[in-house]
Amino acid sequence: MYKVLIPQDIQEEGKQYLREKGYEIQIGSGFDRDTLKKEISDADAVIARTAAYPADVIAAGTKLKVIARYGVGYDNIDLKAAEDMGIYVTIAKGCNTRSVAEHTAALMLACARNITQIYEELKRGNFAIRNALPGMELRGKTFGIAGIGAIGFETAKIVHDGFSMEVLAFDRYADRSVYPEWIHFVDTLDELLKNADVLSLHTPLTSETEHMINRDAMRLMKPSAIIINAARGPIWDERDLYEALKEGTIAAAGSDVFEQEPPDARFPLFELPNYIASAHNAALTKEANAAVSLSCAHAVDDVLSGREPEFPIIRPDK
């Protein structure tokens, strides 16, 4: 019987599917490096959430045949180590696209209408705050997308159709011909930064995108601009973001991600009234969790049954 290790628990739908297929499921006792190395040693498959899977952890999985990533980002997995060991790495493509896009829009609205600032003042009895902090109407404003993948495109549809926003996009690798005419592509990141009223980050985390939103980038933006990051924390430089928000270089920022997760309770950005954050939970709706868990379970079953999985990132040489 094949063993499937789940270091960080998943929704019941995926586990039930694996049980019905006859797999042994082991819910991990922890997901720190040492625990992972111990528990992965006799696993045939692992469903990987946010824990790190560096080369030494993967090397400990001597029976491992597939790492099914619970999501679409895979910067927490050493792909070369997996490839060298002949291990499949798969992603759960498309399962949480809508959930992340809706969450991005929610962060945008919270920033544009000063929701958290007004709520905090209201709790103190300051009803007059309603006149002190007027919001920004989104209709006709420019929504800039850095990285127009599936989530970026879904977000674009929400803001275009729902809020009548103009949409600009910058993506060096996108096939522009497949997108509707109302998405206007620009050729440089600088052009996107200068024109966006709301900048939404949707790029993967790579050496090219790490800290691409830094002090110099934010100085190109409008002082009324909002930045939303529901992608990966290191895409922006949090220290530079703190200074930009404190000095009024930009108006507000909303984030679902952090350079270090979880963030410290004394995280400096938490002190700022024009910063709002959630706990890297944009993708974690009930609907998305069910779909992602099933996608991972299908990928595990495909590989262990000798079939090609639907969304491989690393495919071992046959």
| Mean pLDDT computed over 19-36 | 94
For the cut 90, the answer to whether the pLDDT of residue 317 exceeds it is: no
**Catalytically active residues, by annotation:** 232, 261, 280
For the cut 70, the answer to whether the pLDDT of residue 114 exceeds it is: yes
CA 267 to chain centre: 20
Handedness of CA 221, 227, 230, 234 (dihedral sign): positive
- Residue 89 pairs with which residues in a beta bridge? 67, 314
Cα angle value 203/5/24 (rounded, 5°):
140
Q: In the prediction, which pLDDT does 312 show?
A: 98
Interval 59-77: pLDDT, tens: 999 999 999 999 988 999 9
Q: In the prediction, which pLDDT does 218 show?
A: 99
For the cut 60, the answer to whether the pLDDT of residue 184 exceeds it is: yes
Other beta carbons less than 10 A from residue 127's beta carbon: 10
Q: Give CA–CA dist 254/278, Å, rounded.
A: 8
Interval 186-230: pLDDT, tens: 999 999 999 999 999 999 999 999 999 999 999 999 999 999 999
Q: Where are the beta strands (DSSP E) in the chain?
A: 3-6, 24-27, 45-48, 66-69, 88-90, 142-146, 166-170, 183-185, 198-201, 226-229, 252-255, 275-277, 312-314
Domains of the chain, with CATH numbers? 1-93+284-312 (3.40.50.720), 114-272 (3.40.50.720)
| Mean pLDDT computed over 310-315 | 96
Q: Give CA–CA dist 242/263, Å, rounded.
A: 14
The pLDDT confidence band at residue 81, using thresholds 50, 70 and 90, is: very high
CB-based contacts of 295, cutoff 8 Å, min separation 6:
14, 68, 92, 93, 95, 310, 311
| Mean pLDDT computed over 80-98 | 96
Interval 272-285: pLDDT, tens: 999 999 999 999 99
Q: In the prediction, which pLDDT does 115 show?
A: 97
Interval 253-307: pLDDT, tens: 999 999 999 999 999 999 999 999 999 999 999 999 999 999 999 999 999 999 9
CB burial of residue 307 (10 Å; 0-12, 13-18, 19+) = exposed
Q: In the prediction, which pLDDT does 318 show?
A: 54
Q: In the prediction, which pLDDT does 31 show?
A: 84
Q: In the prediction, which pLDDT does 205 show?
A: 93
Interval 156-170: pLDDT, tens: 999 999 999 999 999
Quote the percentage of the chain above a pLDDT of 70.
Answer: 100
Q: What per-residue string of b and e applies to 128-152 under the rule 16 or more CB within 10 Å gives b?
A: ebeeeeeebebeebbbbbbbbbbbb
| Mean pLDDT computed over 84-94 | 96
